[in-house]
Amino acid sequence: MTEEAFDVLVVGSCMTDLVSQAPRLPKAGETIHGHKFFIGFGGKGANQCIQAARLGAKAAMVCKVGKDFFGDSYIQNFKDNGVHTEFVGQTSDAATGAASIIVNDEGENAIVIVAGANMLLGGEELQDALPALCRAKVLVCQLEISPQTSLQALRMARENHVKTVFNPAPAIPHLDPNFYRFSDVFCCNESEAELLTGSSVASVEDARRAGRELLRRGCGAVIVTLGPQGCVVLRAQESSSQHVPTSAVTAVDTTGAGDSFIGALAFYMAHYPVMPLEEMARRANQVAGVSVQAVGTQASYPFKKELPAELF
């Protein structure tokens, strides 16, 4: 099995979203009735991997879930999306990562995330996946697992000349400097750019400035995503930054748009290695733009067959 070369290997998180919709958020000790409940597949790593696979990438996930019902269903979800599951481990020492979400009628929410099994993904699992990691075209990491595990995966990729995409999400204020050095593409959103640089990011100009600062820390390229404004792309070899705008769409649910963008970017990097990064970003904007026009996280991620041929 490990002789196969993957386009995209994601080392990251899996989470089950347990969503209750209620008229308001309950107070401490209170029980209230909600009007809707649903279970969704989430976790930044898994979201990104599934978007890449839906575009046609040969994708594999390196992650850890619990030896429980949610872990079993997550593995089935990967299989249903064509993601290879050889490196999805199951542990009885922790539960599958879960996010309990309550949404009120105003759209505000209260969320408890229990990372669980995600935090048990470590060096041993990376060693098991090393033969596949070495030969993958692109490695993608985030920060919903132990940061040391993400950093080790990025280091292994770098040592083996595998291209890396790092998404510092959720952002931590003092990121190990090696995260920048091991990132071929460092891709974050406005709030992450703000937290990492310490200055406010609310406009294209701010994003260019923050991007330049992040680039100075040693990344090969930086992308700052800007919601309906698309993104800003900066490359180490050039002194200029490019704003890549996106077409206006009617957004109904932007949850997971950032992960759709990163999954698409990883797909383009693997399939079109000589395509300019700005063009990949332009196409990733289009893919993520489709995802905001439907409800749900993975449920809103488009498949290759649903997208215009010019994106391929």
Ligand X SMILES: *[C@@H]1O[C@H](CO)[C@@H](O)[C@H](O)[C@H]1NC(C)=O
Ligand Y SMILES: Nc1ncnc2c1ncn2[C@@H]1O[C@H](COP(=O)(O)OP(=O)(O)OP(=O)(O)O)[C@@H](O)[C@H]1O
Counting contacts by CB under 6 A, is residue 288 touching ligand Y?
yes
Counting contacts by CB under 6 A, is residue 300 touching ligand X?
no
Of the candidates 127, 160, 191, 203, which one interacts with ligand X according to CB under 6 A? 191
Q: Which does 280 bind (CB under 5 to 8 A by kind): ligand Y, ligand X, none?
A: none
Q: Is 105 a catalytic residue?
A: no
SS (H, E, C) 31-76: CCCCCEEEEEEECHHHHHHHHHHHCCCCEEEEEEEECCHHHHHHHH
Number of shown-chain residues binding ligand X (CB under 6 A): 7
Of the candidates 110, 251, 252, 295, which one interacts with ligand Y according to CB under 6 A? 251
Q: Please report, as residue ranges, which positions from 241 to 270 form the binding site for ligand X (by CB under 6 A).
A: 258
Interface region with ligand X, contact rule CB under 6 A, candidates 82-90, 147-155, 188-196, 215-223: 188-196
- Torsion, Cα of 213, 194, 280, 74 (10° steps): 130
Of the candidates 125, 184, 190, 206, which one interacts with ligand X according to CB under 6 A? 190
Is 275 in contact with 195 (CB distance < 8 Å)?
no
Is 206 in contact with 189 (CB distance < 8 Å)?
no
Binding mask 166-205 for ligand Y (x = CB under 6 A): -----------------------x----------------
Number of shown-chain residues binding ligand Y (CB under 6 A): 21
Binding mask 154-173 for ligand X (x = CB under 6 A): ---------------xx---
Of the candidates 7, 68, 184, 192, which one interacts with ligand X according to CB under 6 A? 192
Q: Sheet containing 109-114: which strands, arranged edge to edge?
A: 36-42, 15-21, 98-103, 109-114
Interface region with ligand X, contact rule CB under 6 A, candidates 33-41, 125-133, 186-194, 245-253: 186-194
What lies within 8 Å, CB to CB, of 148 at 6+ separation is: 122
SS (H, E, C) 129-185: HHHHHHHCCEEEECCCCCHHHHHHHHHHHHHCCCEEEECCCCCCCCCCCHHHHCCCE
Of the candidates 246, 265, 298, 300, which one interacts with ligand Y according to CB under 6 A? 246
Is 241 in contact with 108 (CB distance < 8 Å)?
no
Is 132 in contact with 3 (CB distance < 8 Å)?
no
Q: Which does 170 bind (CB under 5 to 8 A by kind): ligand Y, ligand X, none?
A: ligand X
Q: Which does 7 bind (CB under 5 to 8 A by kind): ligand Y, ligand X, none?
A: none
DSSP state of 264: H
Is 285 in contact with 231 (CB distance < 8 Å)?
yes
Q: In the complex, what is the shortest distance from the CB of residue 69 to ligand X, in angstroms, rounded to a whole number?
A: 27
Is the Cβ of residue 152 or residue 260 nearer to ligand Y in the bound state? 260
HSE toward the beta carbon, residue 260, CA cutoff 13 A: 28
Structure tokens at 73: 């269903």
Chain residues that interact with ligand Y, rule: CB under 6 A: 189, 225-228, 230-231, 246, 249, 251, 254-259, 261, 285, 288-289, 292
The residues that are catalytic are 259
